[in-house]
Amino acid sequence: MGPWFTKMNYLVTSDPINVHHIMSKCFANYVKGHEFHEIFESFGDGIFNADSETWKYNRSLFHSIFKLRDFELFQEKVIRNKLERSLIPILDHVQQKGSVVDLQDVFNRFTFDNICLVVLGCDPNCLSIDFPDVACEKAFDQIEECIFYRHVIPKGVWILQKFLQVGQEKKMTKASKEFDEFIYANIESKREELRKGIKNDEMGDLLTTFMKKEKESQVVVHDDKFLRDAAFNLFVAGRDTITSALTWLFYLVATHPLVETKILEEIKENFGSINIEKKIGVDDVKNLVYLHGAICEAIRLFPPIPFERKQAIEGDILPSGHIVNPNTIILFSLYSMGRLEETWGKDCLEFKPERWMSERGGIVHNPSYKFFSFNAGPRTCLGKDLSFIQIKMISIAILCKYRVQLEEGHVPSLSHSIVLLMKNGFKVRITKREI
């Protein structure tokens, strides 16, 4: 419970059994709710904000596309092109200069360009040697910052600021307008292409795919507002979460040389050498079990989304014995869940990729209510497999060519944000790896 004058009614839990109860067993009784929708208004009626039939439709639509082999290969093509044309040349440039670089910023720019290409079919070129300020990217970052701000102050305060257009809410209004203009301009461009009958039978960006589905069905269900909301939610799912996972993975690998050695040994075992000439694709990376374990460990210790929330419709009693009143907001601390000794053992604070490997060398699958970073129950993340593919492809491309070394004296700290990033960036030096 919060202070009486704030009308804040929260119950915080890190118990996996409670997670299973709320997210699976009693799924229908726990929703995002009206307050969530208000705080995350920028998400519109997209999949993260929606409940009931709207959520079901969004999930069904995304699932029908994400499961396609063609979409998996389309994502592979986009990532590979971005690696070859942007990321590797920039890291080469940084390495040759011998300068310190904020690798988190590099990943942020990479993932923004990548998600723009996957969702909208355009490349804003955030990841360039001159590290430009790109308006749409800055607007997106500002929106996320304002959403976090709405979580930490009483609702009445930010509602008043929104009405008066002052402080963070003034920034929110400006940023939302700017980012919406960017998305709507892309929607109009795609509609114009379809009106002109420009044919392309290959799998393309998601915006075009949604429009084609609408055209094929001859039923107008995907108006501009629907497409805008779908695009924004996909940006949230595929941008900062990947940045966070990559940043903490490379930090942990850089500070655990033995893990780095084992990852490189696995790559050599699978591809014959770490001096890889062949183009690594989606099928190749699926065989890298140790790297998979390292990614899981990074996400366990530093979950990209550090907290999740639900709201009870009716009263309930949790397995832990706690009473939930109607309209109570449940906060799940994913950061705490990944560090519970009762769940992960006495070595819960250690970075051990082996934790995710079976005796036979396969991947250990922990239940989603225990490893909650990809959500659980009916709302389990649809893009989980695609996320692992992307992170593995990027990790291999970097680790095989470079050694990432933490800049002396730089101590990473946790950001205060809806996404768990490093507050002061991830300052590193890049050196060529000797083969």
Q: Which residue, 111, 110, 90, 112, is CA-closest to 101? A: 90
Q: Is the pLDDT of residue 8 over 70?
A: no
Query: pLDDT digits over 25-76, tens only?
Result: 999 999 998 889 999 999 999 999 888 888 999 999 899 999 988 898 999 9
Structural element, H or E, at residue 31: strand 30-31
What are the φ and ψ backbone dihedral angles of 324, each rounded to 5 degrees?
Answer: -110, 115
Q: Residue 199's pLDDT is what?
A: 58
**Each residue of 380-423: pLDDT tens digit?**
999 999 999 999 999 999 999 999 999 999 999 999 889 999 99
Computed over every residue of the chain, the mean pLDDT equals 91
Task: Tell me: is residue 296 an annotated ligand-binding position.
Answer: no
Domain membership of residue 166 (yes or no) is yes
8-state DSSP, 377: G
**Count: domains in the chain:** 1
pLDDT of 1 reads 47
Q: Is the pLDDT of residue 4 over 50?
A: no
The two three-digit tokens of residue 2, written as one number: 């919060």
Q: Give the CA distances from residue 33 to residues 22, 169, 264, 339, 368, in Å, rounded to whole numbers and listed in that order.
A: 14, 21, 46, 29, 22
Tell me if residue 427 falls in helix, strand or coil. strand
Q: What are phi and psi of 201, to 5 degrees?
A: -80, -15
Total residues found in the chain within this entry:
435
| Contact status, residue 421 vs residue 104, Cβ threshold 8 Å | yes
Q: Is the pTM of this model over 0.85?
A: yes
In a domain, 4, yes or no: no
Which residue in 196, 212, 34, 209 sits closest to 118, CA to CA? Answer: 209
The CATH number assigned to the domain holding 231 equals: 1.10.630.10
Residue 5: its pLDDT value, please?
46
Q: Is the CA virtual torsion 165, 166, 167, 171 positive or negative?
A: positive
DSSP letters, 309-364, are: EEEESS-EE-TTS-EE-TTPEEEEEHHHHTT-HHHH-TTTTS--GGGGB-TTS-B-
Question: How is residue 167 written in tokens?
Answer: 């402080």
pLDDT above 80 (res 360): yes
Both tokens of 160, joined, read 């008043």
Q: Residue 289: which residues within 8 A CB-CB, separation 6 or more?
A: 266, 356, 357, 361, 362, 363
Residue 91 reports pLDDT greater than 90 = yes
pLDDT digits (tens, 9 = 90+) for 178-237: 999 999 999 999 988 888 876 565 668 999 888 887 766 666 568 899 999 999 999 999
Q: Are 55 and 378 in contact (CB under 8 A)?
A: no
Measured in whole angstroms, how far is the alpha carbon of residue 96 from the centre of its chain? 31
Residue 415: domain span: 9-432
Residue 276 lies in a domain: yes
Q: What is the DSSP letter of 407?
A: P
Q: Quick check: is 1 in a domain?
A: no
What is the predicted pLDDT for the residue at 271?
A: 84
pLDDT above 90 covers a percentage of the chain that reads 76
Predicted pLDDT at 211: 86
Compute the CA torsion angle 164, 167, 170, 171 (nearest 10 deg).
Answer: -170
- Residue 153, token pair as written in the block: 């102050």
pLDDT single digits (tens) 104-162? 999 999 999 999 999 999 999 999 999 999 999 999 999 999 999 998 888 899 999 99
Give the 3-state DSSP-derived string for 152-185, with helices as H, strands as E and coil as C.
HCCHHHHHHHHHHCCHHHHHHHHHHHHHHHHHHH
365 part of a folded domain: yes
- Residue 132 falls inside a structural domain: yes
The label of the residue with tokens 């069905």 reads 217
| Two structure tokens written together for 335 | 């950061």
Residue type, 339: R
For residue 2, tell me if it sits in a domain: no
Q: Which residues pair with 100 in a beta bridge?
A: 429
- pLDDT at position 6 over 60: no
pLDDT the model gives residue 212 = 80
Q: Which residue has the higher pLDDT, 280 or 314?
A: 314
Q: Is residue 355 part of a domain?
A: yes
Whole-number pLDDT of residue 278:
60
CA 194 to CA 190: how far, in whole Å? 6
Structure-token match 């979409």, residue found = 71
Once rounded to an integer, what is the mean pLDDT over residues 257-266? 96
Residues 432, 252, 423, 107, CA torsion sign: positive
Q: How far, CA to CA in Å, does 137 sit from each of 33, 66, 180, 356? A: 28, 25, 12, 35
Q: Which of 29, 118, 38 is nearest to 78 (CA)?
A: 118
Distance from the Cα of residue 155 to its chain's centroid: 26
What pLDDT sits at residue 277?
53
Check if the beta carbon of residue 407 is closer than 8 Å to that of residue 100.
Answer: yes
pLDDT exceeding 70 applies to what percent of the chain? 93
Question: Are residues 24 and 376 in contact, defined by beta-carbon separation less than 8 angstroms?
Answer: yes
